[in-house]
Chain A
Amino acid sequence: MEHDKGHIIPYRTLLFVVTGLIMLTLISVAVTKIHLGTLTVFTALLIAAIKSAFVLMIFMHLKFETRFFKIMVLAVIAVIGVVIFITLLDYLYR
């Protein structure tokens, strides 16, 4: 069957990505020192989302996989999102 070596990601790319991830971590810590009010949590989660996109795409090879994987990862994240949304429909309006 498929015995090919698959896509090889160069060391350089990986080092570049991890540096970026560390930078983003430091940025998200720094941002909490600034008072953004309700936006604080939002920015923290936004940065977390960007970081996880990098981990998923590069570290977890998702960028080089077939469309099925990409769609399913998005679908699973969407499912969690919708379940949280519907549950909060109860709590937000109670």
Chain B
Amino acid sequence: MSVTAGMTEPSYLEFKGKYKGIFSWIFSTDHKRIALLYLFSILSLFAIGATLGLLMKFELIAPGKTIMDAKAYNAFFTLHGIIMIFAVVIPGLPAVFGNFMLPILIGAKDVAFPRLNLFSWYLYVAGVLLVVIAQFTGDQAPDTGWTFYAPYSFRTAGNMLPAVFGAFVLGFSSILTGLNFLVTIHRMRAPGMTWLKMPLFPWTLYATAWIQLLATPIVGITLLMIVAERLFNIGFFDPTLGGDPVLYQHLFWTYSHPAVYIMILPAMGAISEIIPTFARKIIFGYKFMVASSLLIAFVGYFVWGHHMFTANMSGQALYVFSLLTFLVAIPSAIKVFNWISTMYKASIDLQTPFFWAMAFILVFMIGGFSGLILGSLAADVHLHDTHFVVAHFHFIVFGGTGFSFFAAMHHWYPKITGKMYDTAWANTGLTVLFIGFITLYLPMFYMGVKGMPRRYFDYDEVFHASNIISSMGSWVLYAGLLITVINLFISLKRGKQAPANPWGGSTLEWTIPSPPPVENFEETPIITKGPYSYN
């Protein structure tokens, strides 16, 4: 395990390739550099999305118009949704940490198709640009919400075409990343790494990649149909021409529900790496963890209808979708049990990534349980399209994926940058962010139960008090985000040199120098033991 720095080949950060300056990044096919390209694009977009959210919460601090009118608010939540869903949380963990860590975790030099990997990032940037263009051209910014529901999406004066096409391009980028990962995992595992000796983060990426591959085309074609509808007036989803808008919802959610698992599975995978590392124990129930990842991906594909319980579906469809929704909670619960069991009687090293992982488990469980409430048919009729739903999916998407993203960030930061961050500030950031998160989203459950609808810039006076608490929470949350991110940036300069294995991890990434050399491994590792073998 001893690695002598300086004697080995240069790290991927120092490596001098064919190109200089910025071109050494945007023309690089090194999976580690591409991961950082994604990281910076995603963080910038996250900053924009979070700021939009902050402004929306400010608008909601009092009934009536505070800082923006209805039209602006509609445009804000649309852009917030498109950016956060399609450009931040869907690519978040796979494209950043998956790209960086997948080849290293399976003992490979790179992904299977490095140039395709770079091309995926180009597509990602192109998709984002299209969405941005939609905001600043045309008469009116898109105002349909990120779901582009028909028939409004082809009737609104909003500038939908570039936004819809942008989402299509982002989807294509996601497909190619998934394809790349699947081939990488199938073909490039180090000698001796059998399927059941593979760490759990690659396993979740594997399950995720299948969803990316098999679900994204459905939304791709659906968005193309919306484009065709706007251009040629075909009538697929236009009730005046015989089309059925509910069919649009079917197709949209056939992708967009599995998309939730694209967001959450790699998040679970990162947590499954962090907990054994800091508990110094082998993960409890490895095979169950693997099976539950695959089950979530599989069952998750067939539960889309629970977004449409109030859309006048047939009773038979309602029962099936509700049943499947409850079933998909089982593998998720298995994961939580196994994380907790891993920590049982462990001598835990209390470090920042571990705290993030704990915060993740807590908010993920709240999010998950509120999801079960929404999955029950009768309750959903009352709660559909209220702030309860907003709270639920922010607990899952921000609390689940977002927290896991930051957990992974603090876990692998020393490996990626070669620097240690300031632990005291990192913990402060987490504490502030966590308090803000709870203050912001918990009142929304209450507002939802009381009947406050989502997606309105105005509300009834009875919701005023809880909205004030919630809006104040958003300021604390934002402050927590700033502390966390600024700390990581400052540590790039001021941080101490990171050792190869600062956390005492046992997976492959900790056996190579920090930051890793260009080709990752000097010699291809030969795997004899399963992951997380601490004894």
- Separation in Å of the B313 CB from the closest CB of chain A? 5
Q: Are A82 and B320 in contact (CB under 8 A)?
A: no
Q: How far is the CA of A79 from the CA of B214 in the complex (A)?
A: 9
- Separation in Å of the A41 CB from the closest CB of chain B? 20
Q: How far is the CA of A86 from the CA of B222 in the complex (A)?
A: 18
Q: How far is the CA of A93 from the CA of B320 in the complex (A)?
A: 13
Q: Annotate A52-94 by CB proximity to B: 1 below 8 A, 0 otherwise.
A: 0000000000000000100000001001001100110111111
Q: How far is the CA of A82 from the CA of B214 in the complex (A)?
A: 13
Q: Are B301 and A79 in contact (CB under 8 A)?
A: yes
Q: Are A83 and B254 in contact (CB under 8 A)?
A: yes
Q: How far is the CA of A83 from the CA of B186 in the complex (A)?
A: 27
Q: How far is the CA of A68 from the CA of B312 in the complex (A)?
A: 40
Q: How far is the CA of A68 from the CA of B186 in the complex (A)?
A: 10
- Separation in Å of the B514 CB from the closest CB of chain A? 31
- Separation in Å of the B256 CB from the closest CB of chain A? 14
Size of the chain B interface, CB-CB below 8 angstroms: 18
Flag whether B302 is at the interface (Cβ < 8 A).
yes
Q: Are A89 and B320 in contact (CB under 8 A)?
A: yes
Binding site secondary structure of chain B: helix
Q: Which residues of A contact B312 (CB under 8 A)?
A: 94
How many of chain A's residues touch chain B, expressed as a range? 10 to 19
Known contacts: A89-B320, A90-B250. The answer to whether A83 contacts B302 by CB under 8 A is yes
Give B230-285 interface residues, CB cut-off 8 Å to A.
246-247, 250, 254
Q: Are B301 and A90 in contact (CB under 8 A)?
A: no
Known contacts: A76-B214, A87-B250. The answer to whether A82 contacts B317 by CB under 8 A is no
Q: Which residues of A contact B302 (CB under 8 A)?
A: 82-83, 86
Nearest opposing residue in chain A for B320, CB measure: A89
- Separation in Å of the B206 CB from the closest CB of chain A? 13
Flag whether B316 is at the interface (Cβ < 8 A).
yes
Flag whether B315 is at the interface (Cβ < 8 A).
yes
Apart from A79-B301, A82-B302, A89-B317: 18 A-B pairs, beta carbons within 8 A: A68-B186, A83-B254, A83-B301, A83-B302, A86-B305, A86-B320, A87-B247, A87-B250, A89-B314, A89-B316, A90-B246, A90-B250, A90-B313, A90-B314, A90-B316, A91-B314, A93-B314, A94-B313
Those 7 A-B pairs whose CB atoms lie nearest each other, nearest first = A93-B314, A90-B317, A94-B314, A93-B316, A89-B317, A90-B313, A90-B314
**Can you list 22 pairs linking A and B with CB atoms under 8 Å apart?**
A79-B214, A83-B218, A83-B254, A86-B302, A86-B305, A86-B317, A86-B320, A86-B321, A87-B250, A89-B314, A89-B317, A90-B250, A90-B305, A90-B313, A90-B314, A90-B317, A91-B314, A92-B314, A92-B316, A93-B314, A94-B312, A94-B313
